[in-house]
Amino acid sequence: MRSLSVLAVALVVLAAVSHLLGTAAAAAAATAKKAASAASESSHTNNWALIVDTSLFFFNYRHAANALSMYRTVKQLGIPDNQIILMLADDMACHKSNPLKAQIFNNRNRQIELYGDTVEVDYRGEEVTVENFLRVLLGRHTPGTPASKRLDTNEGSNIFIYMSGHGGDEFLKFQDTEELSSQDIAGAFEQMRVKKRFNEIFFAVDTCQAATMYNHFDTPGIVAAGSSTRNENSYSHHSDGHLGTAVIDRFTYYMLEFMDRRGDKANLGDLMRYLTPQRLMSTAAMDTSKFSRPVKSVALTDFLGSVLKIDTTVATAPYKPLETRASKSTDSVDPPKTTQQQAQQVRPYPIYEATF
């Protein structure tokens, strides 16, 4: 009888231990899942964009259209103009060879005019130099430089850097007279890290041998994408016969198309799978070796969109009923009537019109 009692106690203890172990395992699994989820989320508090067209001459019209297309996209996704730096090396809109004066298009159907009244070019023409580009990154400006020309980022900033132009093995040409090397930009990013000027950077470059531009990146928190690998050219998508030149490059074209189709569900992993050699006629490449988050969980809007912070509260407020028509108030509780003509004018504003 005593043996049975001891056995019963042992079984109870064993069951209790098993329960505790199961609870501990479940808690550990939940903690691990929470940690993995936290690791896949960005901790940034604000977004900035630096968009650069480095090319002169009208036959490079597409490089300006590339940059303006990206500028238009990040604005529509919510980044305000005071957090976008736009650099255009040549004035394609008013170029003597442009038959469509004061206009720039990224498609031969000309449904989207990129150079409208709301475009704010921060650096133009001779201002677009390697020196000024590096000054913008590092925040080392000459006295009197206005705020509109400054990248006033901090350690909570995610930065989208997009560059379009002609390049080669580890260099990108500026103004057809000087070059930005891969060592130049790698050194600038490291200085930015030391100065706590960013949280994460998405660096995208559309040029020949684009992937060589990030060969020397060694700074944590940077993910880089390029339109082509070493010894590969990057190609334009299509031309406008009236303009007599190409209007957009393939990498930029399909990047915009992808974002238009996927919307706020677009992520970096899916983007690279979309940019196939069949579409680009070159090999898109991405370097994630210095980036801590898995790209399949990184939304493009972590870099190209606005940051909305919502503070919640559990505080309550006393209920105050609306006054009725019978009260002495002259205010009406009915919404204003909308005429049929006014209703027809109300239309949703798309993120990006599908024109491709």
pLDDT tens per residue across span 215-239: 999 999 999 999 999 999 999 999 9
Dihedral (C-alpha) 269, 270, 273, 279: value to the nearest 10 degrees? -130
Whether 164 is in a domain gets the answer yes
| Res 172 pLDDT > 80 | yes
> Residues 221, 193: contact at Cβ < 8 Å?
yes
The span from the CA of 269 to the CA of 296, in Å, is 4
The lowest-confidence range among 42-56, 83-97, 195-209, 333-347 is 333-347
Write out pLDDT tens, residues 106-122. 999 999 999 988 899 99
Residue scoring higher pLDDT (240 or 332): 240
Q: Residue 44 has what pLDDT?
A: 83
Annotation marks residue 94 as catalytic: no
> Residues 69, 29: contact at Cβ < 8 Å?
no
Closest CA to 81 of 91, 71, 94, 89: 71
Whether 330 is in a domain gets the answer no
Write out pLDDT tens, residues 58-88. 999 999 999 999 999 999 999 999 999 999 9
Intra-chain end-to-end CA distance of the chain, in Å: 85
Which of 26-30, 43-47, 282-286, 327-331 is most confident? 282-286
List, as one string, the DSSP characters of 126-148.
GG--HHHHHHHHHT-PPTT--GG
The span from the CA of 108 to the CA of 247, in Å, is 7
**Coil, helix or strand for 236?**
strand
List, as one string, the DSSP characters of 184-204.
HHHHHHHHHHHTT--SEEEEE
Whether 167 is in a domain gets the answer yes
The span from the CA of 6 to the CA of 11, in Å, is 9
| Res 123 pLDDT > 80 | yes
User: What average pLDDT does range 203-219 have in this prediction?
Assistant: 97
Q: What is the CATH number of the domain that holds 56?
A: 3.40.50.1460
Closest CA to 228 of 300, 286, 184: 286
Whether 106 is in a domain gets the answer yes
| Res 330 pLDDT > 70 | no
User: What average pLDDT does range 239-246 have in this prediction?
Assistant: 97
- Which residue is catalytic, options 166, 237, 238, 242? 166
> Residues 156, 45: contact at Cβ < 8 Å?
yes
Whether 147 is in a domain gets the answer yes
The span from the CA of 251 to the CA of 235, in Å, is 8
Annotation marks residue 141 as catalytic: no
Whether 327 is in a domain gets the answer no
Whether 137 is in a domain gets the answer yes
User: What average pLDDT does range 239-247 have in this prediction?
Assistant: 97
- Which residue is catalytic, options 19, 208, 237, 242? 208
> Residues 137, 192: contact at Cβ < 8 Å?
yes
Please give the DSSP secondary-structure letter assigned to residue 83.
Answer: G
Q: Which amino acid is at 27?
A: A
User: What average pLDDT does range 137-151 have in this prediction?
Assistant: 95
Q: Residue 338 has what pLDDT?
A: 45
**Coil, helix or strand for 163?**
strand
Q: Does the predicted TM-score (pTM) go above 0.85?
A: no
Mean pLDDT, all residues of the chain: 84
**Coil, helix or strand for 249?**
strand
| Res 42 pLDDT > 80 | no
Range of the domain at 286: 46-304
The lowest-confidence range among 26-30, 88-92, 124-128, 235-239 is 26-30
Confidence of residue 326 (pLDDT cuts 50, 70, 90): very low
Q: Residue 10 has what pLDDT?
A: 58
Whether 27 is in a domain gets the answer no
Angle formed by the axes of helices 250-262 and 61-76, to 10°?
20
Bridge partners, 291 (sequence order): none
Q: Residue 118 has what pLDDT?
A: 87
Q: How many separate domains does the chain show?
A: 1
